[in-house]
Structure 1
Amino acid sequence: MSWNLPNILTLLRIAMIPVLGLMFLLPYPWSNVIAAAIFGVAAVTDWLDGYLARLWKQTSAFGAFLDPVADKLIVAVALVAILTANANAWVAVPVAVIIGREITVSALREWMAELGLRASVAVGWLGKIKTTAQMVAILLMLYAEPIMGVSAFMVGFGLLYIAAVLTIYSMVLYLSAAWRAVNGTAEAEKNRG
């Protein structure tokens, strides 16, 4: 492992995960604000570590592996914490969709990498929009306090549904791309044989 700032930021994000979950679930009136701040810092370090790694040419196989793992873990923990505090079907459905998609797409990327076809399931612009909607939704739902008289939780809740719809759509795109890549490879091998 390379001990550079981008990798250290990723490890820091992983270290924040249990603190986020604990803070959100503490029975204090300020715990949600601290949890939202931790999630906000994690979201900023997610962007910053990738930016710095590219800028300083410090990309590494370890960082490429660990960064998406850290992202998925902190999102999953935050979503489960939100669901724990708001246990109802309206929150459970988008949480299940988002976590299920993350597991599916991660497994798909791993499988495609084993086949040497990882580039066919690279992150696209829709994935970035989905991630932005998801991160803002989680941040607002963790915070849950009114902002200028508007319920941050309800705005986040709406964004979570937008993220869930984009999640399903982007998963379908990933699965279709993988299907075409696998079939194209199988067809090419059949034609050679």
Structure 2
Amino acid sequence: MTWTVPNILTVLRLFAAPGVAVMFLFFARPWADWFALVLFVTAAVTDWFDGYLAREWDQESKFGAMLDPIADKAMVVIALLVITGFSGMNPWILLPATIILFREVFVSGLREFLGNTAGLLKVTPLAKWKTTAQMVSLAVLFSTGIFEHHFAERIFGMDPGTLGAILSGELPDELNLNLLLWMQDVTFYAGVLLLWVAAALTALTGWDYFAKALPFLRDKTA
């Protein structure tokens, strides 16, 4: 394996995947959310750069082709676990997350079973859109935790009556509580919507791979 820049970026993205979860072990929220968001977005950006550089510099390799989808799946799966856990197992997040995880396991098992013929299941443009939708939705949902915990920090110890008066406009909102609450709601609903779009694209690509593999799964007749 040659340590080209694209391959190095892919390896760094693979190691960044568990780093997203590790942030919540060493830092309190909302700092953990900030660090996880920055790490996740930075790693997601390298997903575009490593492929672009590999093509531009003619540095495409078997190692990179093998590791790239693994790094993408590791990022998505770990981020889904973190967000699903901190959402309190919200069914609007849990269900699309389940669809995405089921498809990834199913297609990985399908490729393993097909062995040498798995090369026929090439990545399609729709699959690339699927990955993009997954990463964008997860980044948006990470930002929800940031607004949620900044809001919680600012109202800590505040009298409920005072809080209600600020939110209703009876008292001046010097802490920007209404803005934080609005951003929390916007990012949550936008993130959930994007996650459902990602789940739909994930299911479609899974069915596409299954349909292409079906001829190789049929038993030979005598």
The answer to whether the superposition gives a TM-score over 0.5 is yes
Q: 1:36-115, aligned counterparts within 5 Å?
A: 36-86=37-87, 87-112=89-114, 114-115=115-116
Note closer, same or farther for the CA distance 1:20–1:152 as it changes in structure 2 (3 Å cut). Answer: same
Q: Name the aligned partner's letter for residue 41 of structure 2.
A: G
Residues 24 and 142, structure 1, Cα contact 8 Å, conserved in 2: no
The 2-side partners of 1:186 and 1:4 are apart by 44
In structure 2, distance between residues paired with 1:69 and 1:153: 27
Is 1:142 aligned with 2:177? no
Q: Tell me which residue corresponds to 1:2.
A: 2
1:111 match: secondary structure: helix
Contact 2:140–2:187 at 8 Å: present in 1 too? yes
- Displacement after TM superposition at 1:17 (Å): 2.0
Q: Is the 8 A contact 1:94 1:161 kept in 2?
A: yes
Find the residue that maps to 2:117 and give its secondary structure.
coil
What CA distance in whole angstroms lies between the structure 2 residues aligned with 1:105 and 1:117? 10
Q: How far is 1:62 from its partner?
A: 1.2
- Give the length in aligned residue pairs: 185
Corresponding position of 2:177: none
Q: Report the Cα distance in structure 2 between the residues aligned to 1:130 and 1:38, rounded to whole angstroms.
A: 20
Relative CO higher for 1 or 2, CA cutoff 8 Å, sep ≥ 6? 2
* TM-score, normalising length: structure 2: 0.75
Task: Please say which of residues 153-162 and 102-111 is displaced more in the overlay.
Answer: 102-111
Structure 2 unaligned regions, length at least 5: 148-179
Counterpart AA for 1:177:
K
Matched, 1:173 2:208: yes
The structure number with the bigger radius of gyration is 2
Distance 1:103 1:24 in 2: 26
* 1:134-175 CA distance string (max 9 Å, x none): 111011001113698462122011100111111112111110
Structure 1, unpaired ranges of 5+: none
Given the superposition, is the C-alpha separation of residues 37 and 172 from structure 1 closer, same or farther in structure 2, using an over 3 Å criterion? Answer: same
- Residues 134, 195 of structure 2: 8 Å contact kept: yes
**Retained in 2: the 8 A contact 1:117–1:181?**
no
The 3-state SS of whatever aligns with 1:134 is helix
Letter in 1 for 2:99: V
Separation in structure 2 between the aligned mates of residue 131 and residue 24 of structure 1, nearest angstrom: 24
**Which consecutive aligned stretches of 4+ in structure 1 deviate over 6 angstroms post-superposition?**
none
Deviations 1:4-23 (A, max 9, x none): 11111111112212321122
Residues 35 and 143 in structure 1, CA contact (< 8 A), matched pair in contact too: no
Alignment deviations for residues 53-103 of structure 1 (CA, whole Å, 9 cap, x no partner): 121111111111111111111111000000110122221111111111112
Against the structure 1 CA distance between its residues 33 and 104, is the aligned structure 2 distance closer, same or farther, given a 3 Å change threshold? same
2:190 and 2:122 map into 1 onto residues whose CA distance is: 30
**Identity of counterpart residues, as a percentage?**
41
SS of the residue aligned with 1:39?
A: helix
Q: Report if the CA contact (8 A) 2:92-2:192 is conserved.
A: no
CA RMSD, 1 decimal: 2.3
